[in-house]
């Protein structure tokens, strides 16, 4: 089972290393990890998606709360939060298939943010299902490069 955990931490040197070290030191695998400052520049929010049963989640939560510089730890239960991720995709595209790529982008409300002679760069934001469906439709085209943020989540 996948769990989305939000960790509010002090924005200080080494905090991310301690949090990531806690996961690796105890054998917990992180599916996605996203870190950024909050509206308060002295705080950062770490959003991690981890796999495990309820016992594993309980252990992770307890261990995170013990770390220095951790202010708050939340487990977002399905339906109690909104989540999004963003993906940048560099897609091999020329005049023969560009209109088809544009139609797929329109359907998914993706944005073409750069056009070159042999490629386009696309930005899409949405939940994991939308992103995966979009990537499936682009699979027949040549995906040259892909950068994915991982999940961001916030309580409703």
Asked whether residue 128 falls in the same domain as residue 106, the answer is yes
Domain span at residue 100? 82-155
Asked whether residue 94 falls in the same domain as residue 121, the answer is yes
With cut-offs at 50, 70 and 90, classify the pLDDT of residue 18: very high
CATH of residue 50's domain is 3.30.70.260
Angle between helices 128-138 and 98-108 (to 10 degrees): 170
User: In terms of C-beta density within 10 A (0-12 exposed, 13-18 middle, 19 or more buried), how is residue 145 classed?
Assistant: exposed
Mean pLDDT, rounded, for 140-155: 92
Asked whether residue 97 falls in the same domain as residue 125, the answer is yes
Asked whether residue 101 falls in the same domain as residue 137, the answer is yes
Q: Which of 51, 76, 101 is the last residue of a domain?
A: 76
Q: Is the pLDDT score of 24 beyond 90? A: no
**Number of domains composing the chain:** 2
Task: Answer for the pair 50, 129: CB distance below 8 angstroms, yes or no.
Answer: no
Mean pLDDT, rounded, for 46-72: 92
């Amino acid at each position: 089972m996948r769990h989305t955990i939000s960790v509010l931490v002090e924005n200080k040197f080494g905090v991310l290393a301690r949090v990531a070290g806690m996961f690796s030191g105890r054998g917990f695998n992180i599916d996605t990890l996203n870190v950024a400052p909050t509206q308060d520049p002295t705080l950062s929010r770490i959003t991690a998606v981890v796999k495990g049963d309820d016992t594993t989640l309980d252990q992770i939560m307890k261990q995170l709360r013990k770390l220095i510089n951790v202010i708050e730890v939340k487990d977002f239960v399905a339906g109690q939060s909104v989540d999004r991720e963003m993906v940048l995709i560099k897609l091999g595209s020329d005049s023969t298939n560009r209109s088809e790529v544009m139609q797929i982008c329109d359907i998914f409300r993706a944005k073409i943010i750069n056009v070159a002679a042999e490629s386009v760069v696309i930005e899409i934001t949405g939940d994991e299902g939308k992103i995966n469906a979009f990537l499936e439709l682009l699979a027949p085209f040549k995906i040259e490069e892909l950068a994915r943020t991982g999940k961001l989540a916030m309580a409703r």
